[in-house]
Structure 1
Amino acid sequence: MATNSTIVTGWVPEPEGRGTFGILRSCIMTLVLCVYTALHLNIPAPNLTAFAACMRKGKWVLMGCFAPELVVFVAWCQRRQATRLLGQMREVPGDTYRLWTMTHSFYATMGGFVLNTAQEGQDPYIPGSPRLYLLPEGTAALAKMGLLPPVSKDYILDKSNADGLAKLIVVAQSGWFTLQLLTRWAMKLPVTPLELTTMAHAVCALATYFLWWEKPLDICDPTVVDGEWAAPVAALMWMFSRLSSKRFGSRLGGNSSRPLAECDDIYWIDDPRALLDTLQPHPLASYEDTSSQSVSADHVMLFDLSRGSAFYRKLLPDDSTSRQYPYPIRLDRVTLRRWELFRQCIRDFPELPSLLKRATVTSPMEHICPPLDPSGPVLHALRDHIRTVSGGPGMCGVEDIQYNYTTRILRNLGLELLIVLVVCALAYGAIHAAAWNDHFPSGHELVVWKTSCVYVATCGPVAATLWLVFFSDAVLDKETIKGEIGCSGNHWFWISWIQIGLFFLAFPAAVFYVLARIYLVVEAFVSLRSLPSGAYSSTEWTQYLPHL
């Protein structure tokens, strides 16, 4: 019972206004949730130490802090891969993969299916015997051959550490923060630079969550794809992928800077002895392989090999116009074992190379390098003498490390990816540019803010466009372009000088880009020292919405 001296009241609204600490607290809470919890990284390498795992996560947290739109771009690329894989899996006949979902596709694209190349009691056939992660092309190929083990969605979700409630909290907080700022603009109330920066991260977090909603979180143990067929398939995929180019590098002394896969220019022939005269010791290579052992008698019948020998081969037999390929091929025990498995895979699964072929990325530079004429003299001679089973680095079914982002995206940058990158960069810069005429502690800070906004919004799209025009695969494959469509040397002379000039400009441009990024984040906090009084007025009705 209340006494006469007790003053009681009913409903009391929140105090009007907000303080500097309130602004700082809500922004930091939103930034932490948006940056850290929105990250859905791919499966890490095996035996990753705790320190390496922290560094791996920390690198992406820093990117989320200073370049959140790039995280959105990566998420969009991964969802694009998963969507394509989902379409390919639905084309697989039968009911084995009928229940395949986007969760399955994300699980596969993040490295959920692996081939173990280290087999106990068997000779190694891949240098270092790494674990090979199946890429979407490899996953779809194995599924079409009925070799991919079916897994349920519940099996994947049991491995995932995703929490639906945690996702809901982040989405609700990001949505509340964005709605609050839109309300302040509608009420003509000042918005602080820190709130603009936080809003940019909130919008990016919402987009990232939408793109990664079905992607499992923090899975460490992938599904091992095993069987008697696994070693031959792994050998073929490795030889057809860019992994083998890390061992062979680019063509030495040639005009092409493209990676060289081990399966390039490997042919099946009816009579191996017919090509003996095209195999010659390589004068530029001198390999010493202490792990090599004596070559079996079957191979000695074809070549007089010594331990660690290196050879090169002409393109075609009995062709005086054929150039000699100036790259060496090392023949050791590991290589011969891999080639034997490669032969076995072609014999047992002749359809696998065609299943691994990826669709060509369409780009504005496509007209520079059109496809070869099937009726041309070179391919006609190939058809007469040999049966081609070549793939090249354009075919990629496996990877030894499941990267969250690879330079293949830039190497194969097409118009669609370029548009997405431009939209992400412009959106991030436009949000910060909303403070174009707002109050800043000094005029110099406002000028630098404007400059940074414009530079961040335009630098990425301009760099991507220049990469597309001057550094795409079509442009870099100069040997193919010059030899097959007859581009003039003067044309490539000027392109080479432009490329050199762009390389020199790239370093200072990248430095200024990083500085502009850092300035936008740092200035957002520093500007709290001087704000207009209206910035401390609050929007009452948004305070009643659930938020942190």
Structure 2
Amino acid sequence: MGDLDSSNFTQPWNISIINYNGTDHLLSKFAPPWVSSPTVRGTFDILESCIFTLIACIFTALHLDVVSNPTWQRLLFEKAKWVLLTILIPEVSILTATRQYLDARDLKSDLRKIRKQQKSSKSSPEADFKINTKYAYFIIMGGLRFDVSDILSLPDLDPSAEKLFNGPKNGRKTVRAGPGAILSLAKEGHWIKIQQNEIDDKSKANVFQKVLVLIQVLWMCMQCFWRGAYGFPITLLEFHTLLHVGFAVFQYCLWIKKPLDIQEAIVVQSHGFEAELAIMLQRQFYSRMSYRLALFNSQQTPEQPPPLGPSGRQMRWIDQVAPTKMKVGDILTSGLALYRIDVKSGYFPLENIWGPTTVIKHKIKSKDSPDFCFDLTPEFLRRWDAILSKFPDEQRENLAETMGYNQVWRSDVEAGIPDLPEREKRILLLTRLVEFRHEPLLDREREFWEGRSIFSLDIAPHFET
């Protein structure tokens, strides 16, 4: 074969021309210093540019919440799941970002109002840390958890809550703090102080990564605008990519103050506010026990007789030791009694959602036998020691007389079955107390966000029905 004759080359280049001219001479020829790109775009060029821009933009804009068990496989799966979901249904991601932005804004505003009120009245120590949007987002995204290992008992948990705490037996039990818990503690003067440098240390915000994505997005937009200005066609995929870029930019603006890729939450010990935390824990995760447990005066002397039970018989004093079983009719020396288990229905107002006149009747079909009992554990006793420190004997007597009558029935009065006698209506069951009443609230309005979605609506106690 003679010398390579470049005048016989056919444009555009293809593999048949290279094979015809031979490739051996290409190794001995000098390439020109600059070769212009082809004047036409191939399908792969369009796919490569759009797909890379789409995934990179969405991947950077996503600021996910803190996940439990943050292994690298779990983190990768969560990120990939949300990228795919955002590509297919971007409205879900936008709605999530908007909801979290509103929750963070409300939390910041409420905390600042509480601090201002306490500062003017000097009723509690001032919050000596910065309350801003980043702090609020850190709470919203699950960056703060309370250690409840010493007060979380498993035998009396609601069935719906058991799956939330079925981790290793030797592991520390923690619960995700929601805005409701932070606000409740702040009102009592217990501020959860997290400094900005602690949040920044956990955040994985990468400026270089965002700059690269910004350059790619600008290049993509410039290409489309240039082609549109000169009358060149724009593919449907490019239109779709530009639309997603707009969604991603809006989503990033909502989450611009939200910490990025925090893998582990800050765990706070309950020193100084164990009673408040125990009450919130009892209200949310032990709601069925609110129909069974009652408060009486504590035992002051060994000769003091126990109060009467639901059958008119005296209950039995039992010592506060663990492990032991607590049966119906047993009362601890602290005054906490397992009073009854035959409640059939309860009434709950919906003033928090649909107005003050709406009431729902919640049917409770308990499968417990008359011999129902549960194991007393050190965690149960410690939780109730903390709770009862807020309810001294004189206060219990006053609450039993002044609180509204118990709106809980053991049977259906409309069917002709007798209602509870007046004496039993005055028994201070936990459900009579506001602190333990399991009100119908949105999940995002609850104190703890453990295992819950911000979109679900919860309008009844978590009870096996």
> Do they superpose with TM above 0.5?
yes
Select the residue among 363, 366, 369 that pairs with 1:327.
366
Structure 1 residue 74 displacement after superposition: 1.0
Establish whether residue 220 from structure 1 lines up as the match of residue 263 from structure 2.
yes
In the aligned structure 1, how far is the partner of 2:73 from the partner of 2:362?
50
Would the alpha carbon gap of residues 264 and 188 (structure 1) be closer, same or farther in structure 2, given more than 3 Å must change? farther
The residue aligned with 2:433 is: 388
Tell me the amino acid that sits aligned with residue 65 of structure 2.
N
Establish whether residue 89 from structure 1 lines up as the match of residue 89 from structure 2.
no
Normalising by structure 1, report the TM-score.
Answer: 0.51
The residue aligned with 1:99 is: 130
More helix by share: 1
5 Å-filtered alignment, 1:292-307, equals 293-295=324-326, 298-299=331-332
Which protein has the larger Cα radius of gyration, Structure 1 or Structure 2? Answer: 2
More strand by share: 2
Establish whether residue 399 from structure 1 lines up as the match of residue 449 from structure 2.
yes
Tell me the amino acid that sits aligned with residue 89 of structure 1.
L
The residue aligned with 1:20 is: 43
In the aligned structure 2, how far is the partner of 1:349 from the partner of 1:27?
64
Select the residue among 307, 312, 316 that pairs with 1:273.
307
Higher relative contact order (CA 8 A, sep 6+): 1
Structure 1 residue 56 displacement after superposition: 2.5
Would the alpha carbon gap of residues 303 and 315 (structure 1) be closer, same or farther in structure 2, given more than 3 Å must change? farther
The residue aligned with 1:59 is: 81
Structure 1 residue 150 displacement after superposition: 1.1
Unpaired runs of at least 5, structure 1:
1-10, 245-259, 280-290, 317-321, 351-373, 413-472, 478-548
How many residue pairs match? The answer is 341
**Any conservation in 1 of the 2:61–2:252 contact (CA below 8 Å)?**
yes
- Residues 481-506 of structure 1, C-alpha deviations (whole Å, 9 max, x = no match): xxxxxxxxxxxxxxxxxxxxxxxxxx
Select the residue among 457, 462, 465 that pairs with 1:411.
457
Structure 1 residue 270 displacement after superposition: 6.6
In the aligned structure 1, how far is the partner of 2:52 from the partner of 2:100?
27
The residue aligned with 1:41 is: 64
Classify the secondary structure of the residue corresponding to 2:61: coil
Establish whether residue 341 from structure 1 lines up as the match of residue 371 from structure 2.
no
Identity of aligned residues (%): 24
Establish whether residue 158 from structure 1 lines up as the match of residue 189 from structure 2.
no
Would the alpha carbon gap of residues 54 and 117 (structure 1) be closer, same or farther in structure 2, given more than 3 Å must change? same
- Residues 78-126 of structure 1, C-alpha deviations (whole Å, 9 max, x = no match): 1111111111111122441562111101111111211122249x97686
In the aligned structure 1, how far is the partner of 2:326 from the partner of 2:141?
40
**Any conservation in 2 of the 1:184–1:190 contact (CA below 8 Å)?**
yes
**Any conservation in 2 of the 1:276–1:302 contact (CA below 8 Å)?**
no
Classify the secondary structure of the residue corresponding to 1:409: coil
**Any conservation in 2 of the 1:263–1:391 contact (CA below 8 Å)?**
yes
Would the alpha carbon gap of residues 277 and 91 (structure 1) be closer, same or farther in structure 2, given more than 3 Å must change? farther
**Any conservation in 2 of the 1:108–1:136 contact (CA below 8 Å)?**
yes
Tell me the amino acid that sits aligned with residue 60 of structure 2.
T
Structure 1 residue 53 displacement after superposition: 3.0
5 Å-filtered alignment, 1:63-82, equals 63-82=85-104
In the aligned structure 2, how far is the partner of 1:102 from the partner of 1:114?
19
In the aligned structure 1, how far is the partner of 2:407 from the partner of 2:331?
31
Tell me the amino acid that sits aligned with residue 23 of structure 1.
I
Tell me the amino acid that sits aligned with residue 374 of structure 2.
D
Structure 1 residue 136 displacement after superposition: 1.1
Classify the secondary structure of the residue corresponding to 2:107: helix
- Residues 150-188 of structure 1, C-alpha deviations (whole Å, 9 max, x = no match): 121122011111113323433443354345434544544
User: CA RMSD for the aligned pairs?
Assistant: 4.6
Unpaired runs of at least 5, structure 2:
1-33, 120-125, 166-171, 299-305, 314-321, 347-360, 393-402, 409-421
